[in-house]
Structure 1
């Protein structure tokens, strides 16, 4: 079965699709008489098209088993969408599958391994697979758009591309 290469999630490799939300390398400074460290402007919401508003929700993702075929992609043409894991555990993992905004092309699919200390903010119009939690039920704070206009396009695929344990293991090994 053809496996989609899974890369480690980092700011550079993900920049074409949006922002990686993480503390490492972020601008920060002390506030509240030095009792709190503020990690400032990790990402921003792009939700104002057609009078949209930014909302915050919680998504609870059920763990998915690998191998898993890529059969659906979606995009939000009127707003960005951020997923921030609610965990302090770096071993909590999830997968991100994306393709550039515009006309979808299967050959442009990329997959990333996200860890519990990393979130993502998909740029407006970027194609992405619905939430792929691994190992356990996983909670994510989600910042996205509510308002008038059609803001979710779904595309059903017959790709014969799979996320596999072998590809996941290779991504993990590249971190060491």
Structure 2
């Protein structure tokens, strides 16, 4: 078994794979006569094409237990995909496993521990594991692309990589 180490999610560490969505450090200002704080442009959806459109969905993830074998990775070549947890609790953690866009290389996989106040926006073509909630059933708003064209590639791994 090969152990995949889990790192804390930061903007700098995740930059090769997309964007971290969080209010901490974001450009923000008051709107609506001072009754609302706008955290501006937390991520950029990259789903534009003449045959597709951007949608919002809700994903409800069942909690997973560690150690967790990594047996599947997927990518979306026609658009980015963002996951934003519907929680205000930093303790509501989840994991992301990613690998760079292009030909899949299991030796370039990285794992990040995300706090409940952080979302991620996977860039077009970035390999990622399906949603990994920890501790409890967790809801996420997901922004991605629907439309014509093949937009989900999946590969099956032999399970020799494990999150622990």
Q: TM-score range by the shorter chain?
A: over 0.9
Normalised by the length of structure 1, the TM-score is 0.91
Give the TM-score normalised by the residue count of structure 2: 0.98
Gaps of 5+ in 2: none
Show structure 1 runs of 5+ residues with no match: 165-176
1:139, distance to aligned residue in structure 2 (A): 0.2
Post-superposition offset of 1:3: 1.5
Separation in structure 2 between the aligned mates of residue 49 and residue 73 of structure 1, nearest angstrom:
24
Q: Is the 8 A contact 1:50 1:149 kept in 2?
A: no
| Counterparts of residues 14-163 of structure 1 (less than 5 Å) | 14-163=14-163
**Partner secondary structure for residue 16 of structure 1:** coil
Runs of 4+ in 1 over 4 A off after TM superposition: none
Deviation at 1:35, TM superposition (A): 1.1
Match of 1:172 in 2: none
| Separation in 2, partners of 1:81, 1:68 | 23
SS in 1 for 2:158: coil
1:10 maps to 2:10:
yes
Structure 1 residue 158 displacement after superposition: 1.1
The question of whether the paired residues in 2 share the 8 Å contact of 1:50 and 1:147 is answered with no
- Give the total of aligned pairs: 164
Measured in 1, the distance between the counterparts of 2:93 and 2:123 equals: 21
